[in-house]
């Protein structure tokens, strides 16, 4: 789902994952196109739209359908509490990213909307989203830096992070102890552990039914490379990066990976049902794991190779303002009120309905759920090793080329260096296009 800016895996998979499952029910292009044309935009009718409803401006705010109980009531409560405008919340099931992106082309779109990892670079370039630099100014240093940077282009902030999600490795302590395996901190240890933990019933490691293709990003970071360099040039043309991606092929062919699990990596059932000993999953599964395994589990970042660093991908929905809004200023003020000023509501949103990390450092320490056990470890991983899933300039076209490359390397056994050379011109052409 997260398709993110089509990064292969958006962190936001959580609710996204669930949502997407629902979306599958009708989630064809046609369906989402229709959804985009759907009548109820959440705006007031023509009589009041853009005008004043009882002296107050009317705003519509869109969310995708979160999976956790109580989330819809919560955002409606937040909106109703705003004194300076009449805010109508639209709760959008189905393929949210696509229908929202399409609705921004029309006058029927939202005033305020959330978008995975902030708006895309093409939304920014097309002038579809408003500059929110002033809105976050008062708390700029308090937001998680990796996330806020992801939503910033040329010094201007285009979205306010709402809540942080992350992906990480979770392992069964008892299984590792039984096999005499220590929690791995390097890629080689991980490969060895996966092999050692595999027997006829249990596979050592589950990285997803795609066989670990989605770990391309963390593998680059493990090798000290990245999708793009800090000054936005191609970031993984090194032998170390090629070697790292080759490690995923080694894992894929080792017979130690769980493949074709009924529920993919976004769900913890592979781990809780004993199909694997270590699983790549999202922070959102920790409550399920805790329920099933008690304290028989621990969390780990994606390991490193020499020259690289351990990492956890982090992502966040960012609240954006559409420039097609008839009340851009009122919309900005609302975003500032809810996602910058109202810290109690932000804390409630992050911790009361599921398992997320507040986007602001000052709130992390206030979150009771994040004070002990693996959850506390996970929160620390975000601070120490958090890495935005993909850079802002990593366009969908780059993501497709990267995904194709990963598939060819991992599944077909293609030479990593040669495949990287195929992707490089695609990425460079896209960089040239978006920065021109």
Q: Which residues bind other proteins (CB under 8 A)?
A: 1-6, 8-10, 13, 17, 20, 24-29, 32-33, 97-98, 101-102, 104-105, 116, 120, 122-123, 125-126, 128, 208-211, 213-214, 258-262, 264, 266, 275, 395-397, 399-401, 403-404, 407-408, 411-413
**185 and 303 in contact (C-beta within 8 Å)?**
yes
Quick one: 20 or 86, whose CB is closer to other proteins? 20
What is the nearest approach in angstroms of other proteins to the Cβ of residue 279? 14
Quick one: 203 or 369, whose CB is closer to other proteins? 203
Quick one: 198 or 336, whose CB is closer to other proteins? 198
Quick one: 17 or 367, whose CB is closer to other proteins? 17
Distance between CA atoms of 96 and 289, rounded to whole angstroms?
28
Quick one: 10 or 336, whose CB is closer to other proteins? 10
What is the nearest approach in angstroms of other proteins to the Cβ of residue 340? 25
What is the nearest approach in angstroms of other proteins to the Cβ of residue 270? 9
What is the nearest approach in angstroms of other proteins to the Cβ of residue 390? 11
Distance between CA atoms of 354 and 339, rounded to whole angstroms?
18
Q: Which residues contact 99 (CB under 8 A, 6 or more apart)?
A: 32, 33, 35, 36, 92
Angle at the Cα of 379 (from 375 to 154), degrees rounded to 5?
A: 150
**97 and 320 in contact (C-beta within 8 Å)?**
no
Of all helices (H) and strands (E), which one includes residue 172?
strand 160-172
**24 and 53 in contact (C-beta within 8 Å)?**
no
What is the nearest approach in angstroms of other proteins to the Cβ of residue 393? 13
Quick one: 192 or 414, whose CB is closer to other proteins? 414
Distance between CA atoms of 324 and 321, rounded to whole angstroms?
9
Place of tokens 């709130």: 363
| Count of residues making up the chain | 436
What is the nearest approach in angstroms of other proteins to the Cβ of residue 101? 5
């Amino acid at each position: 789902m997260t398709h993110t800016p089509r990064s292969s895996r958006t962190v936001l998979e959580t609710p996204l994952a669930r949502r997407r499952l629902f979306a599958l029910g009708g989630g064809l292009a046609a369906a989402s196109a229709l959804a985009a044309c759907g009548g109820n935009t959440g705006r007031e009718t023509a009589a009041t739209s853009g005008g004043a409803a009882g002296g107050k401006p009317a705003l519509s705010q869109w969310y995708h359908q979160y999976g956790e109980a109580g989330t819809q009531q919560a955002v409606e409560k937040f909106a109703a509490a705003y004194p300076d405008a009449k805010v109508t919340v639209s709760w959008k099931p189905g393929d949210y990213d696509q229908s929202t992106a399409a609705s921004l082309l029309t006058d029927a779109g939202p005033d305020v909307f959330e978008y995975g990892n902030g708006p895309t670079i093409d939304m920014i370039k097309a002038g579809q989203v408003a500059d929110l630099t002033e809105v976050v100014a008062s708390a700029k240093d308090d937001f998680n830096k990796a996330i806020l940077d992801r939503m910033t282009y040329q010094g201007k902030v285009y979205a306010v992070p709402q809540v942080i999600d992350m992906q990480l490795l979770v392992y069964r302590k008892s299984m590792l102890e039984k096999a005499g395996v220590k929690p791995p901190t390097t890629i080689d240890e991980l490969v060895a552990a996966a092999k050692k933990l595999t027997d006829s019933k249990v596979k050592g490691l589950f990285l997803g039914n795609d066989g670990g293709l989605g770990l391309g990003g963390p593998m680059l970071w493990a090798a000290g490379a990245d999708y793009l360099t800090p000054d936005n040039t191609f970031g993984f043309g090194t032998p170390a990066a090629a070697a790292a991606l080759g490690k995923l092929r080694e894992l894929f062919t080792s017979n130690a990976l769980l493949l074709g699990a009924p529920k993919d990596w976004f769900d913890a059932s592979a781990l809780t049902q004993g199909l694997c000993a270590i699983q790549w999953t999202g922070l959102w599964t920790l409550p399920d794991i805790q329920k099933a395994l008690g304290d028989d589990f621990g969390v780990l970042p994606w390991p490193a190779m020499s020259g690289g660093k351990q990492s956890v991908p982090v992502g966040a929905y960012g609240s954006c303002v559409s420039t097609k809004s008839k009340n851009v200023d009122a919309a900005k003020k609302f975003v500032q009120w809810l996602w910058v000023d109202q810290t109690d509501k932000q804390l409630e949103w992050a911790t009361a309905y599921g398992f997320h990390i507040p986007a602001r450092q000052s709130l992390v320490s206030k979150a009771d759920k994040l004070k002990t056990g693996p959850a506390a470890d996970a929160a620390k991983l975000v601070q120490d090793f958090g890495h935005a899933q993909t850079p802002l300039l990593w366009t969908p076209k780059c993501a497709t080329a990267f995904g194709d490359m990963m598939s060819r390397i991992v599944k077909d056994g293609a030479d990593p260096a040669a495949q990287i050379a195929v992707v490089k011109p695609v990425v460079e052409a896209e960089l040239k296009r978006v920065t021109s």
